Amino acid sequence: MVRRKSEWPDKDEIVMCTAKKVFDQGAYVKLDEYGGKEGMIHISEVSSGWVKNIRRHIREGQKVICKVLNVDTKKGHIDLSMRRVKDSQRSWKSRQWKRDKKSEKLLEQVAKRVGSDLDTAYEKIGFYLQQKHDDIYSAFEEMAMKGKEAIDLPEVEEEWINTLMELIESSVEAPYVAVKGYVDLRCSASNGVEVIKLALSEARDSVTDSEVDVNVRYIGSPSYLIKISAPSYKVAERVLQETAKKAISTVEEAGGTGKFYTEREE
Summarize pLDDT for 71-125 with one digit per residue, the tens. 999 999 999 999 999 998 999 899 999 999 999 999 999 999 999 999 999 999 9
pLDDT at 256: 95
Domains of the chain with CATH codes:
14-84 (2.40.50.140), 88-171 (1.10.150.190), 177-261 (3.30.70.1130)
Distance separating alpha carbons of residues 247 and 224, to the nearest angstrom: 11
| Section 24-42 average pLDDT | 94
Instruction: Using the predicted structure, report yes or no on whether residue 1 has a pLDDT greater than 70.
Output: no
Asked whether the beta carbons of 221 and 182 are under 8 A apart, the reply is no
Distance separating alpha carbons of residues 109 and 116, to the nearest angstrom: 10
Contacts of 228 (CB under 8 A, 6+ apart): 178, 179, 180, 212, 213, 214, 215, 236, 237, 239, 240, 243
Mean of the per-residue pLDDT values of the chain: 91
Q: Place 175 in a pLDDT band, splitting at 50, 70 and 90.
A: low
| Section 56-70 average pLDDT | 96
Instruction: Using the predicted structure, report yes or no on whether residue 263 has a pLDDT greater than 80.
Output: no
Distance separating alpha carbons of residues 181 and 214, to the nearest angstrom: 11
Instruction: Using the predicted structure, report yes or no on whether residue 147 has a pLDDT greater than 90.
Output: no
